[in-house]
Chains A and B, each alone.
Chain A
Amino acid sequence: MADLQQLVSTVISWASDSEQVEAYAAHSRDADVEVYQGGIETLSTAETDGVGIRVVLPGPDGNRQGFAYTGSLDTESLQACLREARDNASFGTPDPFLGLAEPDDVEPVSLDIYRDSLASFPTEAKIEMAMELERLVRAADSRIRSLRSASYGDGLLEVAIASTTGISRQYRRTGVSVAAYAIAGSEDDTQTGFGYSVGRSADEIDVPKAAAMAVERSTRLLGATKPTSRRTAIVFDPYVTASLLSILGGTLNAESVLKGRSLFADRVGETVAVNGFSLIDQPTNPLAFGATPIDAEGLATRELALISGGVLQGFAHNTVTARRMGGAARSTGSSVRGGFKSTPGVGCRALTVLPGTLSQAEIISQVGTGVLVQSVSGIHSGVNPVSGDFSVGAEGLLIENGQLGAPIREFTIASTIQRMLMEILAVGADLEWLPGGSSGVTLAIDGISVSGA
């Protein structure tokens, strides 16, 4: 950790007087175990380091920005990387709003997202967790034919950021997961389902729960048929809702708004969803797997209300989008990057909703007639975050007389993002944090087109 901070400090010390320099360094250590039919199929360990350097050159017409990254951390490579970033900056279009983050008055919160215990957790125990997961899935139900995989993975991430504008911060976090991908049924009627459990350390992992999930999700689809087309209410499983929240979050970042690519531009203060729907980014909640104390420019992360009681509150900002928006806009600590190879963009880390009061069973009962969607496919090809068109493949179970009925597959569900928000019937009480940048919760939405036979 000290090494990374030292590294970024060294890089920015090479800056000339006429430029701003920021260095972002990341170190990760990952272990992955995959087992198959009682044996270890793959065991891999990996350590990855990298540095991304941004250079901003001020000028009379505005600032120009360049970026370069390197996966080698020796002095020669780092200096070459800085030279490349500087050279790249000379081709940028001058822009008065470009520039690095400057420290603001928000202090990062201390987040309990790192576990020392992971470093000493033995490989044999990791293997045993994956083995146990596979055993439990196979033993749970005679209809389980095989598993594509049962796996254990863990990772440690350390990040340090320093800039000539006064940023010098760092954090580290750990994560552990197990996952099983089960195949159920005969060769004439194959269905699949996955199960998982995630935590910050191995003792937070619930292997039996992951196994039960994979078994339930694969076996309950056996005998699934293609439904007839209809317009109906849909109940989304928490895992599916998490994907929907991520898409929604993408439409609420200020970069999309400023560049004319958000369907919510100019709608702050307007009602965009039903009254019972509130969307919040909570990167300071340690239960969120996307939680970090600082953003990708080194500013403190902070809670951000995006939609409250159905009314659009505002957008996620990084330093540049806030400057460009002007007025009262300030960075919301929402700078994100894909890693050391990318420049900072804007995004949410821990999207969640205000939970409702009903369980999934109660929502199904209340909906009466519709479809429970267990998983969706083609999210990237079927959801257009600019136009709002929404059309994805799905599988799940019919809802009849307020109860789960026959399994169905090979159908699509379609609407628009705008309409779906206005037709939310219920938000569940079953909020849980899932891997990725969102929480999951049961969500019922009316007026969805189901396309099938």
Chain B
Amino acid sequence: MGNSTNAHPAATLTLAGDDLVPSDTLQRVLAEALRTGGDFAEVFIEDRASSSALFDDGRVEELTSGAERGAGIRVIAGDTTGFAHTADISESGLLAAAVAAAAAAKGGGGGVKSVELVRRVGTSIHQVVTPSIDIPKLRKVELLQRADAAARAAGSAIRQVTAGYGDSRRRIQVANSDGVLAADEQIRTRLMVQCVALGDTGMQTGYDVAAKTVGWELFDTADVEAIASKAAARALTKLNARPAPSGVTTIVLNQGAGGTMFHEACGHGLEADLVLKDTSVFKGRVGQQVAAKGVTIVDDGSYAREWGTSSIDDEGHPTQRNVLIEDGVLTDYMWDYRHAVKEGHAQSGNGRRQNYQSLPIVRMTNTYLLAGHEQPDDIIASTADGIYCAKLGGGQVNTATGDFVFGMVEAYRIENGRLAEPLRDANLIGNGPNVLQAIDAIGNDFATGVGTCGKDGQGVPVSDGNPTLRVVGAITVGGTAA
């Protein structure tokens, strides 16, 4: 998992691309934003085009196209942030939003400040070959028809199939009173399939998804039929599933299945805003052994093609590879502009926002627990009794206490070192610091999964990754079986 910075020959270079708003306009808007005495002002411009298609119940239900464009302006005066946004990115629209943001922040002195913008030179880290927005709609529909057919071919017990396709092109431009001027174009493409299977024990569901920060070439590597078959197989397998057990159990996570767990177990607790507000169990623990030896966790927004990737964050700072935990030792938190300035720390490229209507906050990007040295099969074989999680669903954490939950959507009992019967869906619960210390085996494999992370009402694309690994004595399975 290297930090890939060399663009593909066919990649579109975007950092030096077209400006959404000319830089001289941005300079005037920033000057207006600082007129009431703010310490810092920022203009964030966003232009987003998206298309999606939904195939459900055997029909192309709908195609949707969306277009949104606007600007968010923030002014920081002391510890106060004023924010306003507008869908009008003409100079007059931007100036009006600047006045509103400045009024909200209301600094002390006032006066005239001028801003000299310096374009941040750099190349796009993206490796997009064919922007999906340029692909004829008919081909997107055909993709979904293939997914539907493949899922239904998996067995007559498959009673319902939903296949969804989505792509987006998000262009952003950021300028601030520190002179930063930066831009990025982010192209994302996604396919998901959900199946319902019906058996003697009722209905079960299965889901699979492929999503990357790439164009239509996603489907060069992501096999539509394979995704659909996997979703169908998950639903079919669970028709024979037994209720999950109840109580503390040894858990073996499949590669790529359990990134959610570390996203919840420690990721959120390592976000500087939560740490500085005394709402993280990891506060004051830099330099300490917070996880078992061998556990290394990185957050890398520059990892090309991944779902949480961008060239710059939504504050114009280049993304980078941040090591959060190295061989079990907490090395650093993730930072945005505001908290980095407050603590005299460097930004880490983790200031993200859902859209121009939202303020940037500290967010994860692609969060990975790195591979170890053990053979995955040996980890299962050496587990006498436990649960093998082939796939996890979403989760949630209380960062102040460290308690977190996440759902199992494909799981099997392990008996005497062998996979046994499948288990029905259940949540797992644990405490972040305890779970990190309880990892006793790390495989030499690695895979990633994707999701949308929600925080303070904002959703952003993220990916998670992990090798096969085992957690002993720290996770409780919330099933109903005795």
Contact = CB atoms under 8 A, between A and B. Distances in A.
A449 B246 contact: yes
A232 to B, nearest CB: 12
B394 interface: yes
A410 interface: yes
A391 B476 contact: no
B478 A413 contact: yes
A418 B454 CA distance: 29
Interface stretch (B6-14, B63-71, B116-124, B173-181): B63-71
A403 interface: no
Given A41-B79, A259-B57, A388-B202, A46 B85 contact: yes
Contacts of A183: 278-279, 400
Contacts of A72: 67-69, 87
Given A145-B278, A377-B398, A67 B63 contact: yes
B247 A377 contact: no
B406 A414 contact: no
Interface stretch (B293-301, B363-371, B373-381, B421-429): B421-429
Interface in B118-141: 137-138, 141
Interface in B189-221: 196, 198, 202-205
A88 B406 CA distance: 37
B104 A260 contact: no
Given A377-B405, A378-B427, A387-B204, A41 B80 contact: yes
A378 B395 contact: yes
Interface string A64-106: 0111111111000100110011011101110100000000000
A40 B83 CA distance: 12
Given A40-B80, A183-B279, A449 B196 contact: no
A190 B359 contact: no
A35 B190 CA distance: 39
Using C-beta atoms within 8 Å of the partner chain, give the interface range for chain A.
35 or more
A84 B84 CA distance: 30
A276 interface: no
Contacts, number: 259
Given A381-B395, A451-B477, A65 B203 contact: no
Contact of B277 (A36, A93, A123, A263): A36
B417 interface: no
A256 B73 CA distance: 42
B105 interface: yes
B302 interface: no
A412 B427 contact: yes
B309 to A, nearest CB: 24
A452 interface: yes
For chain B, what secondary structure do more than half of its interface residues adopt (helix, strand, loop), or is it mixed?
A: strand
Contacts of A95: 59
A149 B456 CA distance: 11
A91 B63 contact: yes
Given A68-B66, A449-B480, A192 B405 contact: no
Interface string B267-301: 00000001001110101000000000000000000
Given A43-B80, A381-B395, A387-B424, A343 B64 contact: yes
A73 to B, nearest CB: 8
B41 to A, nearest CB: 14
Contacts of A116: none
A158 B244 CA distance: 47
A229 interface: yes
Contacts of A449: 246, 478-480
Interface string A368-410: 0000000001101110101111011101000000000000011
- Tell me which of B68, B398, B478 has the highest count of chain A C-beta atoms within 10 A of its own C-beta: B478
A224 B189 CA distance: 45
Given A44-B82, A451-B478, A80 B246 contact: no
Interface string A154-188: 00000000000000000000000000000100010
Contacts of B404: 377, 393
A27 to B, nearest CB: 11
A145 B283 CA distance: 14
15 contacts: A39-B79, A41-B80, A44-B83, A48-B85, A68-B65, A81-B67, A146-B277, A146-B278, A261-B196, A378-B427, A409-B401, A412-B405, A412-B427, A412-B428, A412-B477
